[in-house]
Amino acid sequence: MSETFAQIGREEAVRRLFEGSGYAAFEQGLAARGEADGSAVAASRLLLEGTDFSLVYFPLKHLGYKSVVSVTGELYASMARPASLGIVLGISSKLDFEHIERLWGGVVAAAKEHGYGHLSLELVPSRNGLAISLSAVGFRKASTEENRPAPASKDLVCVSGSLGSAYFGQQVLEHRPDELEKYRMMVADYLKPELNPATVAQLEAQGLVPACGLFVTRGLSDAVLRLSRATGLGVKVYADRIPFEGNSFALGKELDIDPVSAAMNGGDDCRLLYAVPLSAYERFRRDFQTFDIIGHLALPEAGTVLVTPDGLEHPVSAQGW
């Protein structure tokens, strides 16, 4: 029979979760040190059961892993290297220690993969399902800020992988649970999205500093609107340049979902989006082949638009704007 938190106690539960993790429980002063001439970057995320995930089909270890990725991407978008991560878990009465142990296993795996030096955990009760609050700190080199170019019209808008795939993966889990193997890449993009931990180091090594970076988690529409706001420029995204997972159009036809709409508004993709100077085009195409160029910055009067294959421009809109 699984142990409950009432039987174990909060302090003992935290101690057990940290056993063998390579991190120290109850460590004081988690403000990790970066380079003396660098700057700190902070990111936070709150994930709620029933809103951001469902425990009906979400393996707890994958959920822990994805939670860390969902906040780490914000650091990479800012060209920062992860340093410390603080997590607060709001735990409902339906979850016992064994459940949280599985969740924590995914957290630790992702924290190690992305190079976090410090990890902290707080456990609190929740009346309304599982809640996961994450606060991450990373450090960005001073040279990155010094060499960051000003955003300019014609800068390339580049994204680190297929879009809409996670949304389709969620649809498969909810409506086609007997076809998980057929759509395993989409399901994986939703349940366990991955980011390349070496992205920032590779950009630094090539002397490539994006003019702006964003983390795409609420659909491409939201991301390009934020890009326009951050740069003060217009953005043009080309529908025929958006990368899709191989089965997107076939599944979209079956579910009556337009893949372009899924990419623009679906969310949960966990992709990096950078605005790269046009002058770096050749180097970027050569050294970062996993990225796709999907559009470019434009003059402010161009607005933020999606350009169809026949040349029509549609203003981009997104929830929350």
pLDDT in tens, 261-317: 999 998 899 999 999 999 999 999 999 999 999 999 999 999 999 999 999 999 999
Lowest mean pLDDT among 2-11, 170-179, 184-193, 232-241: 2-11
pLDDT confidence of residue 3: 82
Query: Higher model confidence: residue 6 or residue 138?
Result: 138
Q: Give me the pLDDT at residue 2, please.
A: 74
- Residue-range domains of the chain with CATH: 5-145 (3.30.1330.10), 148-315 (3.90.650.10)
**Sheet with 39-48, side-by-side order of all strands:** 39-48, 131-140, 81-91, 118-125
For the chain, the residue count is 321
The CB density around residue 112, as the number of other CB atoms within 10 Å, is 15
Please list, residue by residue across 279-291, b when 16 or more beta carbons sit within 10 angstroms of its beta carbon and e when fewer do.
Answer: ebeeebeeebeeb
Mean pLDDT of 176-195: 96
Distance CA 301, CA 317 (A): 16
Q: Calculate the CA dihedral of residues 86, 32, 213, 162 and round it to 10 degrees.
A: -50
At residue 140, the pLDDT reads 96
Structure tokens belonging to residue 221: 């529409």
3 class by beta-carbon count within 10 Å (0-12 exposed, 13-18 middle, 19+ buried) = middle
pTM of the model: 0.93
Terminal CA-CA length for the chain: 49
pLDDT band at residue 9 under the 50/70/90 scheme: confident
**Paired residues of 87 in beta bridges:** 121, 134
Three-state SS at 201: helix
Q: What is the mean pLDDT of residues 91-105?
A: 95
Q: DSSP for 245-304? A: -TTHHHHHHHHT--HHHHHHH-----EEEEEE-GGGHHHHHHH-TT-EEEEEEE-GGG-E
The arrangement of strands across the sheet holding 156-159 comes to: 212-216, 271-276, 156-159, 292-298, 234-238, 304-307, 313-315
Provide the pLDDT confidence category of residue 26 given band limits of 50, 70 and 90. confident
pLDDT-derived band of residue 6, with 50, 70 and 90 as boundaries? Answer: confident
The model's confidence at residue 32, banded by pLDDT at 50, 70 and 90, is low
pLDDT of residue 1: 58
**Nearest alpha carbon to residue 139 among 38, 282, 237:** 38
35-44, 168-177, 208-217 — which is least confidently predicted? 35-44
What is the DSSP code (8-state) at residue 2?
Answer: P
Contact present, 125 and 91 (Cβ < 8 Å): yes
pLDDT at 99 over 80: yes
Q: For all residues of the chain together, what is the average pLDDT?
A: 94
- Of the two residues 320 and 313, the one the predictor is more confident about is 313
CB environment 8-28: b (16+ within 10 A), e (fewer) = eeeeebbebbbeebebeeeee
Instruction: Give the position of tokens 């064994």.
Output: 98
Nearest-CA neighbor of 237 among 191, 302, 152? 302
Count of H-run helices and E-run strands, the chain: 12, 11
Rounded to whole angstroms, the Cα distance separating 164 from 67 reads 19
Residues 6+ apart with CB under 8 A from 10: 123
The CA angle 26-87-2, to the nearest 5 degrees, is: 80
Residue-wise pLDDT tens digits, 66-82: 999 999 999 999 999 99
31, pLDDT greater than 60: no
pLDDT at 298: 98
Task: Tell me the C-alpha distance between 69 and 270, whole Å.
Answer: 8
